[in-house]
Amino acid sequence: MSEHDEHRTPVSLSGLSADDSHLQPAAKNPHTVEMVISIMFVIGAILTAGFGAAYWVNAKPWILGATMGGGLFFLGIGLVAWGKYLMPRGPFVEERHTLANSEADRDAFAAAIVERGGSVVKRRKMLAGLLGGGLGIFGVVAMFPLIRSLGPLPKGTLFHTDWRKGSFAVDQTGRRVSVGDLAVGSIVTVFPEGKQNTDRGQAVDQTVLIRVSNEHFTTQKGRESWAPHGYVAYSKVCTHLGCPVGLYEQQLQLLVCPCHQSMFNVTNGAVPQFGPAPRPLPQLPLYVDSDGFIRAQADYDQPVGPGFWERS
């Protein structure tokens, strides 16, 4: 026990005899450990070479990853084992002197800086002023990319979509939807014609068109003419955080938002009946033209999507 304690006592490196126990490897049988470590290194070398070969023949990504990762892993294991078991076990200590300069040295240095620096700047007032001006302008200009990174002002775009009076409802291929297309229980995502391939069209204008019945369909007071022949259209942008409300459960007559499980009642003006959505999905007023195509009576009567600061 006492011998063990003696091994663990930190000693200074200087003046140790070569056969001191602190200089012996930590391992009891270093030859065995050396053998194990060399096996690790050989495996690591083989795998690393394998990585080179795999890279050369353009092998699959997982082979590249496995050979490189395995190679580095075994080399690292060997390295750590070498450090732990074969190096002198120690522990060693070494007294160190103080790092700080003396008080007098520091005072003299500070005085020299202030004196010399001050006199130089005073002598070249114009240069100092110009430098200050340049740095000031740089500070102002540095604000530009910061402000620009906030993006363009939204202006009125949050309040309106691209749906207009008479917009044809088209599917994602640009095909106009006609009144005979859908059977009851069918749903299609529609866009105002010409906007189906634009970023804004797919983000803001996306609208679900559902045929919920075979008759003229009223969801709420004041919307008597909005759903001809049972076709009803709601904004596909959730009023909570703007996810696409794409889950239509046709027996339950629910539109479900996949992000936070808000549920909107399709047969009652998309009023939310569960979940965090604060408002109903806005409804798009529809009409069927003389050729049987489904078109919008007007834009949405309110901003689509989540709430924002200026939204009344």
> Contact region for other proteins (CB under 8 A) — 13-21, 39-47, 59-67, 218-226?
59-67
Binding status of residue 278 toward other proteins by CB under 8 A: no
Q: How far apart are the first and last CA of the chain?
A: 81
| Among 11, 158, 162, 189, contact with other proteins (rule: CB under 8 A) | 189
- Which segment (79-87, 97-105, 123-131, 143-151) binds other proteins by CB under 8 A? 79-87
Q: Would you say 72 or 158 has its CB closer to other proteins?
A: 72
| Whole-number Å distance between alpha carbons of 31 and 165 | 88
Instruction: Count interface residues toward other proteins (CB under 8 A).
Output: 44
Query: How far apart are alpha carbons 189 and 286 in whole angstroms?
Result: 14
Alpha-carbon distance of 40 to 21, in angstroms, equals 28
- Collapsing DSSP to helix, strand or coil, 211 comes out as strand
User: What's 281's DSSP letter?
Assistant: P
The reply to whether 263 sits near other proteins by the rule CB under 8 A is yes
Q: Which is nearer to other proteins, 13 or 80 (CB)?
A: 80
Q: Is the peptide bond prior to 91 cis by the omega test (within 30 degrees of 0)?
A: yes
Residue 31: CB minimum distance to other proteins, A? 17
Residue pair 226/200 in contact by the 8 Å Cβ criterion? no
Is 227 a binder of other proteins (CB under 8 A)? no
Is the Cβ of residue 140 or residue 183 nearer to other proteins in the bound state?
Answer: 183
Question: Quick one: which of 20, 121, 252, 311 contacts other proteins (CB under 8 A)?
Answer: 252
- Beta-bridge partner residues of 283: 234
Beta-strand pair 169-170/286-288: unpaired
Length reported for the chain: 312
Catalog residues that contact other proteins under the rule CB under 8 A.
26-27, 60-62, 80, 84-85, 89, 171-172, 177-189, 210-211, 213-214, 229-230, 244, 246-252, 254, 256, 258, 261, 263, 274
